[in-house]
């Protein structure tokens, strides 16, 4: 039995660590679910006027409404979704009485890149967003075609304030792609299951090892 003390302790310690990691992921799941619930409530709240000096920390997902006119300057961001397939997000300058901002007017298909946005005075309802889509692998824009929403660069390209209103209600030919929580990962449940399965596997293999150690094959 003295020879089995260390394998037993190792089996218990290893399983304990793996189970603890699984429990931690369940705690993270609860934390993330609370965050997503709060974000969904913020997104669906009644819209307000765009703050004078909006910031990401205070105003991310803020529902807003703005009245003005599109400038006609358009940038297209290549996207692909299960619902719409491949196409473009349509980003345009939008002039309000107080400022010039960016509006994500929504989706157009690959064959509709030249589609014009509504002319004249309109009201856009949506949410403020500071997209986090650019990494070191993102290609540089080419001929008005972008591969991610890069708010500072897009604002500089169109000469607007670095404020992006993602439309959820907009007349015209584009299909709005409103802000939502679908793009925010919440994989903690699957992570927890993985850790618990590893713990079960560790205990099974440890049990098999201990059983064979107790009854070694005679040679």
pLDDT at site 219 = 44
Q: Which residues pair with 145 in a beta bridge?
A: 76, 142
The answer on 199 and 157 residing in a single domain is: no
pLDDT at site 184 = 64
> Is residue 50, in this structure, part of any structural domain at all?
no
Ranges of the chain whose pLDDT falls below 70: 1-2, 181-185, 215-219
pTM surpassing 0.75? no
Task: Give 158-192 pLDDT, tens digit per residue.
Answer: 999 999 999 988 877 888 888 776 656 677 788 88
The answer on 88 and 30 residing in a single domain is: no
Alpha helices in the chain (DSSP H): 5-43, 56-59, 151-158, 188-214
The answer on 77 and 160 residing in a single domain is: yes
Whole domain around residue 81: which residue ranges? 62-169
Residue 145: which of 80, 95, 91 has the closest Cα?
91
Residue 177: which of 126, 115, 112 has the closest Cα?
126
The answer on 162 and 116 residing in a single domain is: yes
Residues 84, 81: Cα–Cα separation, whole Å: 5
> Is residue 9, in this structure, part of any structural domain at all?
yes
The answer on 22 and 77 residing in a single domain is: no
The answer on 156 and 81 residing in a single domain is: yes
- Structurally, the chain folds into a number of domains equal to 2
Residues 16, 115: Cα–Cα separation, whole Å: 59
pLDDT at site 183 = 58
pLDDT at site 217 = 59
């Amino acid at each position: 039995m003295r020879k089995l003390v260390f394998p037993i302790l190792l089996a218990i310690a290893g399983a304990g660590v793996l189970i603890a990691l699984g429990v931690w992921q369940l705690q993270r799941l609860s934390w993330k679910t609370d965050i997503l619930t709060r974000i969904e409530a913020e997104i669906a709240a009644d819209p307000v006027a765009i703050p004078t000096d909006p910031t990401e920390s205070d105003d991310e997902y803020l529902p807003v409404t703005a009245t003005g006119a599109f400038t006609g300057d358009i940038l297209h961001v290549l996207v692909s979704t299960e619902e719409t397939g491949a196409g473009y997000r349509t980003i345009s300058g939008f002039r309000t009485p107080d400022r010039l901002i960016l509006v994500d007017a929504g989706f157009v298909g690959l064959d509709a890149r030249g589609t014009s946005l509504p002319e004249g005075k309109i009201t856009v309802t949506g949410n403020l967003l500071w997209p986090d889509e650019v990494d070191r692998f993102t290609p540089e824009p080419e001929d008005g075609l972008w591969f991610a929403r890069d708010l500072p660069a897009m604002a500089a390209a169109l000469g607007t304030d670095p404020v992006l209103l993602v439309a959820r209600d907009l007349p015209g030919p584009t299909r709005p792609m409103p802000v939502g929580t679908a793009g925010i990962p919440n994989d903690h449940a699957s992570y927890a299951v993985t850790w618990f399965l590893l713990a079960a596997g560790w205990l099974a293999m440890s049990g098999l090892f201990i059983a064979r150690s107790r009854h070694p094959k005679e040679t």
